[in-house]
Amino acid sequence: MATRTVTIASSVGLHARPAAIFVEAATNTGLDVEIARPGDEPVDATSILGVMALGAKFGEEVVLTADGDGADAALDSLVALLSRDLDAE
């Protein structure tokens, strides 16, 4: 299982537009991807409600995990996505 930690760069955190962009990208990986705040239970990264319920804010860290072929590359792309201010694009 591949794991990455990333700091949320979107100024509004993982709400509305940034969450939708992230969920779409996670879904497009075709893998089982989860996201969690450190120490909390992970949620399905392909669930908009789950991702928004995390309440991850700007500057907070989240942990991404994925399993399957290409998991490392998939997580690297998701980390790159969350490292940008998705609400400013």
Could you tell me if residue 87 is inside a domain? no
Q: Check which CATH number belongs to the domain holding 13 and give it.
A: 3.30.1340.10
The pTM (predicted TM-score) of the whole model is 0.95
Cα(10)–Cα(56) distance, integer angstroms: 10
DSSP strand E in 1-89: where? 2-7, 32-36, 43-44, 61-67
Residue 6: active-site member: no
- pLDDT one-digit tens code per residue, 40-67: 999 999 999 999 999 999 999 999 999 9
Q: Indicate the number of domains in the chain.
A: 1
CA distance 75 to 61: 15
37 in a structural domain: yes
> Are the C-beta atoms of residues 12 and 85 closer than 8 Å to each other?
no
Residue 88: inside a domain, yes or no? no
Catalytic residue among 15, 50, 63, 77: 15
**Domain that residue 14 falls in:** 2-82
